[in-house]
Amino acid sequence: MSENTQAQNLEDIRAEAQNDIRALRDEISALDQSSLDLILTRARSHYAWKDTPVTDEQIRRMYDIVKMGSTSMNGCPARFVFVNTDEGRERIAKSLKPANLPKVMGAPLTVIVAYDLDFWKKLPKLFPHDDRRPLFDGKPEYTEDTAYRNSTLQGGYLMIAARAIGLDVGAMSGFSNAAIDEEFFKGTSLKSNFLCNIGVADETALFQRLPRFDFEEVCSFA
């Protein structure tokens, strides 16, 4: 394929992408308040769960939403382990603080949100128009910083995706990352970030909503 043909193909792809986002804006200008309530403003973190399974179809649907979320250089460093068996929960239990044990053991699904330190090796697939691998090769601190930050972002997408399809979530950091890594990722390039329980919540375990900062307390202009 000639350089001129390649350049034209890229221009055609860009034009298609630009037309697609214009069509999206014409179709949906903003979420209504009910949608915002469902995913954030009235949603709650949950600690107890009803005996309702999360189906494989729902898991795959969540991932199909998450994978479209933006990450730096489209690196997509997050890796997700969907734990929905008693055996898997027992493996997670080894890492938990005592107060968090019933939260996981009672959840129909616990997701280990992890990140791959070798994510950059997949950039030719995910970022094919420019080779960005030299930015990461031999630079472990920058690589881990990028992977950790962007996997956290993808974990946030997962929480919103779960709520968007009608499920509830409860993210957790009260566990030993070293124990999870030893149990699930030993000998691999993966490291754990945080846990997230997902299912249909038992709302009777909720307490009052805790305070939030007002805009003037934490926001500024420059």
Secondary structure (H, E, C), 57-117: HHHHHHHHHHCCCCCHHHCCCEEEEEECCHHHHHHHHCCECHHHHHHHHCCCEEEEEEEEC
Report yes or no: 81 and 89 within 8 Å, Cβ to Cβ.
Answer: no
CATH fold of 45-204, please? NADH Oxidase (3.40.109)
Report yes or no: 154 and 76 within 8 Å, Cβ to Cβ.
Answer: yes
How much is the pLDDT for 32?
97
CA distance 143 to 130: 18
CA distance 181 to 92: 10
Per-residue pLDDT of the chain (222 residues; tens, 9 = 90+): 666 776 678 888 889 999 999 999 999 999 999 999 999 999 999 999 999 999 999 999 999 999 999 999 999 999 999 999 999 999 999 999 999 999 999 999 999 999 999 999 999 999 998 999 999 999 999 999 999 999 999 999 999 999 999 999 999 999 999 999 999 999 999 999 999 999 999 999 999 999 999 999 999 999
Every domain of the chain and the residues it spans: 45-204
